Structure 1
Amino acid sequence: MYLHRSLEIGDLETICLFPQSQEELFYMSPRFVYPLTPDQIMNLAKDRFEPTVILEDAKNEVVAYANIYADELEENSFWLGNVIVSPESRGKGASQYLLNVMSEKAKNTLKTEKLKLACHSTNSRGLAFYSKSGFKPFDMKIHDIGSKKFITIHMIKNLV
């Protein structure tokens, strides 16, 4: 039902349509400014590994995107980043396929035994999904953004 491949320049405009609000874009990356633009994706992706898109097999169209980045504090440790699924593909298995692909890339290509991710506390759907997929909380950070405070929950999954 789904296929995957590396990100291509032609995918960027489609990915920019996935976040439906500033809040959804914040979940994808607090560094992004709404509305998302191809330049924002490319500027962040240049320091990332395995930028990957998921394609719906029947239509051959991009339905999800993610990448991986290195942990600055721990050697051979990596984080899943910029996870986003098209609104039309949510709840249809694309996110699980994306998570499986990215976990395999972290394990087999980057040779790491665990994968981390950050999920914001207001993203209850994401937290439930990651928990169901085997990720466990290990830390949290409080961020001040403007006059608001946000809690980010750090989660980890063993890949071995």
Structure 2
Amino acid sequence: MHCVALPGGHRRTIGRYRGRPPRADANGRGERRGDEVHGPGGRVQCGVIGTGWQARSQLAAVCGVREVTAVKAFGRDPSRRETYCREMSEALGVRIQPVDSARACVEEAEVVVTITSSAKPVLEGAWLAPGAHVNAAGSNALVRSEIDAETV
């Protein structure tokens, strides 16, 4: 079990990543861990679109399975974006740069996290680097559509 300390003295469990075999689900398919799907941990750059409370645990989870060398973060509110970058840089020990657009956030990223409540796409597939991995965590309801069809 991996835990990460977040600002405010909170600790979050971010999951089990090593040391246990995949479990079979009800259909007999194995559950795949991030390190099994994408190969052993490697150095990556990450882009995070969204700077709310869930963006904190999403980035911590990526840092739990990869050596993240740099992060760019974008959120609509500049003050909240700056706070997110400062606090998460301190918590995770990685440089997090606030940027002024979603496109600037993801253009060079190997791992992209979208964690918004947007009903319209905030990420366009044309912006992604070849082979980029996208965690579209905020697209979790019919009324939410934070990624475009090309990204899918």
Q: TM-score range by the shorter chain?
A: under 0.3
TM-score (norm 1): 0.27
Q: Which has the higher strand share?
A: 1
TM-score (norm 2): 0.28
